[in-house]
Amino acid sequence: MHSSADIEEYTIDSINNISEPPEIVLTIGSTAFEKALNKFKASPIIASFLPRRVYEELLERTLRKPNNTTAVFIDQSMSRQLALARLIVPTGVTIGTVFGASSIHERERLYHAAKKTGFNIKSVALNSDDNPVNTLQPVIQESDVFLAIPDQSAFNRASAKWSLFLALRLKKPLIGFSEKYVDAGALAAVFSSPQQIGKHAAETLNTYLETEVLVGPAHPKYFTVKTNLKSIQTINIQMDDAVILQQQLGDSH
């Protein structure tokens, strides 16, 4: 095989027009991946631009062979996020976080990454009927750094906003999960742009076309670190700038 394969593009609505099983399927987003899983039982699939936990949940519902499906996730690994936290607070002992209805499934990965990076975890589960301030404040106050984990529930927006407000008020560094969150006031975040995820997905596709082997599912290979200067000044923390942090993170990952 070779990398000069013919490419046909389809939308979620037009996927049913495909009559012959494709040689390989590359999906963009969770809905497209779910559609492809249901329609193409035998064709290998590369999923992209979807969270790891969504990929795993959708895959569990099918009877596909595990070596016939792979993914480039949209989210960063817990180990990379905690490595960033460790660079920002080298002597920090406790990292705090809050779990929602969907992010609670990240608990095991968080604890594993914390063990590798030398953090103790202080966490709480936030339900829709909880008072976010009363629930979040003790966790943030008793932590050296706070990690915001995205959650699919609508309540996530409120908890993300209150986490940010409390972290700045209590002068605690908050590691966000997106560029927009840093723009809103998070101290720092590691994230991958659409171009970076697309580049990784294209490399995964090319590897398959050249070798007929699907590499394993992975978090984005390429990433960016961004910091908020105003928040750094508000918290009054001494830390490297984003360029150096990104270089250090790349060297360790």
Give tens-digit pLDDT for 13-32: 888 888 788 999 999 999 99
Name the pLDDT band for 240 (thresholds 50, 70, 90): very high
* pLDDT at residue 210 is higher than 90: yes
Tell me if 1 is assigned to some domain: no
* Domain shared by 42 and 131, yes or no: no
pLDDT of residue 122: 96
Distances (CA, A) of 110 to 38, 122, 134, 241: 31, 11, 23, 25
Instruction: Give the C-alpha separation, 147 to 98, whole Å.
Output: 8
Name the pLDDT band for 1 (thresholds 50, 70, 90): very low
Q: Look at 61-70, 181-190, 206-215 and tell me which has the smallest mean pLDDT.
A: 61-70
pLDDT of residue 20: 85
* Domain shared by 46 and 109, yes or no: no
Tell me the angle at which helices 30-39 and 52-60 cross, rounded to the nearest 10 degrees. Answer: 20
* Domain shared by 139 and 168, yes or no: yes
Instruction: Read off the tokens for 218.
Output: 């992975």
pTM for the predicted model, two decimal places: 0.91
pLDDT of residue 113: 95
* Domain shared by 119 and 180, yes or no: yes
Tell me if 142 is assigned to some domain: yes
Q: What is the CATH number of the domain that holds 121?
A: 3.40.50.2300
Average pLDDT over residues 48-61: 94
Say which residue, 49 or 67, is predicted with more confidence. Answer: 49
* Domain shared by 182 and 202, yes or no: no
> pLDDT, tens digit, for every residue of 105-121?
888 999 999 999 999 99
The shares of helix, strand and coil residues in the chain, as percent rounded to the nearest 5, are: 45, 15, 40
pLDDT of residue 228: 98
Instruction: Give the C-alpha separation, 122 to 143, whole Å.
Output: 7
* Domain shared by 42 and 134, yes or no: no
* pLDDT at residue 2 is higher than 60: no
User: How many CB atoms are closer than 10 A to CB 6?
Assistant: 5
Assign 163 to helix, strand or coil.
helix
pLDDT of residue 207: 97
pLDDT of residue 70: 98
Average pLDDT over residues 76-92: 97
* Domain shared by 64 and 91, yes or no: no
Name the pLDDT band for 202 (thresholds 50, 70, 90): very high
Assign 219 to helix, strand or coil.
coil
Number of structural domains (the chain) is: 2
Tell me if 3 is assigned to some domain: no
Say which residue, 223 or 2, is predicted with more confidence. Answer: 223
* Domain shared by 201 and 239, yes or no: no
* Domain shared by 88 and 127, yes or no: yes
Structural domain that includes position 31? 15-74+193-211
Share of the chain above pLDDT 90, in %: 73
Average pLDDT over residues 166-188: 97
* Domain shared by 161 and 127, yes or no: yes
Q: Residues 6 or more apart from 184 whose CB is under 8 A from it?
A: 164, 176
Assign 215 to helix, strand or coil.
coil
Distances (CA, A) of 62 to 39, 46, 58, 231, 253: 11, 15, 7, 45, 32
pLDDT of residue 154: 54
Average pLDDT over residues 174-198: 97
* Domain shared by 35 and 100, yes or no: no
* Domain shared by 67 and 83, yes or no: no
